[in-house]
């Protein structure tokens, strides 16, 4: 879950992600990342967007509903991956280096 704050810059007002919390365990971030430091990597990256969207779309505009999920690295690894495997997904842990 993203927590937004509104800031006003002399004439312009904008929204930014001030904090993010895991929708499963509630882990809170400071900003838009999950405890990732300069030397340590602890992040969740979604490279393919999976979204369920329902509504109406016309040339002049539209509206509807959609789902968006925020998940921390621990819940991704220890909750989502085991659940996906229990549903038949073939997920393998891979080594990486650079």
What's the pTM? 0.59
DSSP 1-37: -EEEEEEEETTEEEEEEEEEB-TTT-PBPSSSSSS--
Bigger pLDDT: 43 or 28?
28
User: In the prediction, which pLDDT does 83 show?
Assistant: 95
34 CB burial (10 A radius; 0-12, 13-18, 19+) = buried
CA 26 to chain centre: 13
- Phi, psi for residue 36 in degrees, rounded to 5: -90, 130
User: What number of CA atoms fall less than 13 Å from residue 73's CA on the CB side?
Assistant: 11
Average pLDDT for the chain: 80
Percent of the chain with pLDDT over 70: 79
pLDDT band at 5 (very low <50, low <70, confident <90, very high): confident
């Amino acid at each position: 879950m993203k927590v937004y704050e509104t800031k006003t810059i002399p004439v312009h007002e904008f929204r930014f992600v001030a904090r993010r919390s895991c929708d499963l365990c509630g882990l809170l971030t400071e900003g838009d990342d999950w405890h990732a430091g300069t030397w340590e990597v602890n992040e969740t990256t979604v490279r393919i967007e999976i979204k369920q969207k329902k509504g109406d779309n016309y040339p002049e505009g539209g509206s509807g509903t959609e789902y968006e999920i925020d998940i921390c690295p621990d819940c991704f690894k220890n909750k989502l991956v085991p659940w996906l495997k229990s549903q038949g997904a073939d997920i393998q842990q891979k080594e990486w280096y650079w």
